Amino acid sequence: MQSTLKQLAQQDCDLLIVGGGINGAGIARDAVGRGLRVILCEQHDLAQHTSSASTKLIHGGLRYLEYFEFKLVRKSLQEREVLLRAAPHIMWPLRFVMPHDAGQRPAWVIRAGLFLYDHLAHREFLPASEGVSLRKHVAGVPLKGNYRKGFVYSDGWVDDARLVVLNALDASEHGAKILTRTKCMEVRQQGQGWRATLDSEQYGRIEVSARAIVNAAGPWTAQFANAASGAKNTHGLRLIKGSHIIVPCLFDHPYAYIFQNPDKRIIFAIPYQDDFTLIGTTDLEYTGDPGQVKISDDEVGYLCQMANRYFIKQIAAGDVVWSYSGVRPLLDDSALNASAVTRDYLLECDENNPPFLNVWGGKITTYRKLAEEALAMLLPRLGLHAPEWTSTAPLPGGDLQQAGALVASYDFERFSTEFCTRYSWLPKKIAQRYARCYGSRASRMLGTAQKISDLGEELAPGIYEQEARYLFAVEWARSAEDILWRRTKCGLYCQPQQVARLQEWLMTQQ
Ligand SMILES: Cc1cc2nc3c(=O)[nH]c(=O)nc-3n(C[C@H](O)[C@H](O)[C@H](O)COP(=O)(O)OP(=O)(O)OC[C@H]3O[C@@H](n4cnc5c(N)ncnc54)[C@H](O)[C@@H]3O)c2cc1C
């Protein structure tokens, strides 16, 4: 501990990244893989804020076509298959059903939109869109009788919080220092670079000298840029709150739904964690503390009402088993309403000082591309050159090799079946979850265990000591919340006394 403390008290690096959401973690991974010395600091847990509160779609954003955001949609669509290949355990293709009736956008407009969506970028394994009769299609069964026709199209699903952790893990395995629960307090210019003061929960004060800074503070980007750098920002953020509710399954097939509503907004209803349906999202201007964002009763009511317009099974606030809210840090483009604000990002690097790069806006879907663009701006300023590498590299656990080739995500089922057979002593549901969470690393997580008692105490439903120890040692998990809501979603099945037991156990590891 003493030597770690000494080592950490003074640090030198090429790049200090502030923020451990998807953008910070993605830039850290890309940069360290190109040979830069990287430190990432995150004031709380990895993905504790916006990057665990998304709708979890790897998508082009069908509705952005209405705002003529063709460039953004194309870029996002191009990323879908790149990402799905990199981590087929935590991302997979999803078919979306859009029920249609006379009160909505005319069918020809939707058909034209879907045609564009299918053709704006190359697709290798995601199927094209099609019209369907909801009287015959399985997705019609849980819907009210007035929805007879619909459209089906493809996008992707991602476990957003795990995507962040896997990027941080890959960065760390390439040599980056990932400091969680470490806030960047101050940054000042020093010679040709920067000097930053970090405050770490574990190690106290750390001084870092960095040749360049990346401000990937999500909803705190403007605040951090103003306070820390003193440099002038030419851009700002619109903070838009979005909330989701989780209810027991409203349907038992693998399709997701996209509903068009009278207020012109769209709502998704997505199969979630086997036993649940995820419904979201809202879009509301937000002026509070991004760290304290919570769903309101009005939002719960709105989401239930929108779902009730479509499903036979009606829901109310009492059915909600969990909810989450996040703040979208959107690039302020002066749009009149929250849904119309651009979802594209902008990277801004001050030309006059040592490099200080601000990340404005973005989506989970475009994080890898954003990281490449950030490096394209930073490398010349640092007098370095190194080629792009992340588009074909698997994320940890994503290298599900078959006959020497990376498998596409629809082959994941084969890997999962083989894993369950190999570990037949594990309850099937738990084995399937391990395959999903850890992919090819699931065996590493299990170590030498050969029977269930080798996994130690079951600290919370489905969480044995073996897994908790791995998450603590390898994935920076420090609290019960980190494990139950971000590294896994086992929190959905937990009672308060089980949360307390897990927390108590974690205290003995620190
Ligand atoms: C409701 C909702 C639905 C969405 N749905 C989708 C979707 O389906 N698909 C999609 O592609 N995108 C979606 N998004 C967008 C996506 O989630 C965000 O663009 C993305 O997560 C932003 O990541 P980030 O890294 O910029 O921010 P964050 O994840 O918020 O990370 C920033 C981090 O910086 C840290 N930080 C701040 N200040 C400091 C400091 N001084 N020192 C150290 N750390 C600091 C914070 O603690 C935070 O963890 C959605 C967003 C929302 C809110």
Q: Which of 56-70, 291-305, 409-423 has the highest mean pLDDT?
A: 291-305
Query: pLDDT tens for residues 158-187?
Result: 999 999 999 999 999 999 999 999 999 999
Residue 449's pLDDT band, with cuts at 50, 70 and 90, is very high
In this model, does residue 402 exceed pLDDT 70? Answer: no
- The CATH fold assigned to 2-50+162-235+343-392 is FAD/NAD(P)-binding domain (3.50.50)
| Ligand 1 in reach of 26 Cβ (< 6 A) | no
In this model, does residue 354 exceed pLDDT 60? Answer: yes
pLDDT of 233: 66
In this model, does residue 231 exceed pLDDT 90? Answer: no
Answer yes or no: are the C-beta atoms of 343 and 66 closer than 8 Å. Answer: no
pLDDT of 229: 61
What CA–CA distance (Å, rounded) separates 124 from 114? 17
More confident position, 8 or 326: 326
Query: pLDDT tens for residues 422-443?
Result: 999 999 999 999 999 999 999 9
How many of the other CB atoms lie within 10 Å of CB of 104?
16
Give the 3-state DSSP-derived string for 92-159, with helices as H, strands as E and coil as C: EEEEEEEEECCCCCCHHHHHHHHHHHHHCCCCCCCCCCEEEECCCCHHHCCECCCCCEEEEEEEEEEC
Instruction: Give the mutation target among 18, 49, 186 for probing the ligand 1 site: most ligand atoms within 8 A of CB.
Output: 49
Lowest mean pLDDT segment, chosen from 125-134, 249-258, 315-324, 343-352: 343-352
Q: Which atom of ligand 1 is nearest to the CA of 23?
A: 25
How far is ligand 1, taken at its centre, from the CA of residue 104, in Å? 32
Query: pLDDT tens for residues 265-292?
Result: 899 999 999 999 999 999 999 999 999 9
| Ligand 1 in reach of 239 Cβ (< 6 A) | no
pLDDT of 403: 44
Cα 297–492–442 angle (5° rounding)?
140
pLDDT of 69: 80
- The reported pTM is 0.96
Q: Which CATH number fits domain 401-509: 2.102.10.10, 1.10.8.870, 3.30.360.10, 3.40.50.150?
A: 1.10.8.870
| Ligand 1 in reach of 198 Cβ (< 6 A) | no
| Ligand 1 in reach of 62 Cβ (< 6 A) | no
Q: How many residues does the chain have?
A: 510
Query: pLDDT tens for residues 455-501?
Result: 999 999 999 999 999 999 999 999 999 999 999 999 999 999 999 99
Nearest CA to ligand 1 atom 1: 242
Distances in Å between the Cα of 447 and the Cα atoms of 376, 433, 435, 454 are 40, 16, 14, 10
Q: At what angle do helices 70-86 and 107-119 cross, to 10 degrees?
A: 60
| Ligand 1 in reach of 48 Cβ (< 6 A) | yes
In this model, does residue 365 exceed pLDDT 60? Answer: yes
Whether the upstream peptide bond of residue 508 has omega within 30° of 0, thus cis, is no
Nearest CA to ligand 1 atom 52: 54
In this model, does residue 230 exceed pLDDT 80? Answer: no
Q: Which atom of ligand 1 is nearest to the CA of 22?
A: 25
Domains 2-50+162-235+343-392 and 91-156+238-340 share a fold: no
| Ligand 1 in reach of 281 Cβ (< 6 A) | yes
Structure tokens at 333: 């483009």
| Ligand 1 in reach of 42 Cβ (< 6 A) | yes
User: Mean pLDDT for the chain?
Assistant: 92
pLDDT of 288: 94
Query: pLDDT tens for residues 104-149?
Result: 888 898 999 899 999 988 888 889 999 999 999 999 999 999 899 9
The domain limits of the chain are 2-50+162-235+343-392, 91-156+238-340, 401-509
Radius of gyration of the chain (CA): 23
Q: Which CATH number fits domain 91-156+238-340: 3.40.50.1400, 3.30.9.10, 3.20.20.140, 3.40.50.300?
A: 3.30.9.10
How far is ligand 1, taken at its centre, from the CA of residue 418, in Å? 35
How many of the other CB atoms lie within 10 Å of CB of 508?
6
Residue 103's pLDDT band, with cuts at 50, 70 and 90, is confident
pLDDT of 66: 77
Query: pLDDT tens for residues 72-90?
Result: 888 888 999 899 999 999 9
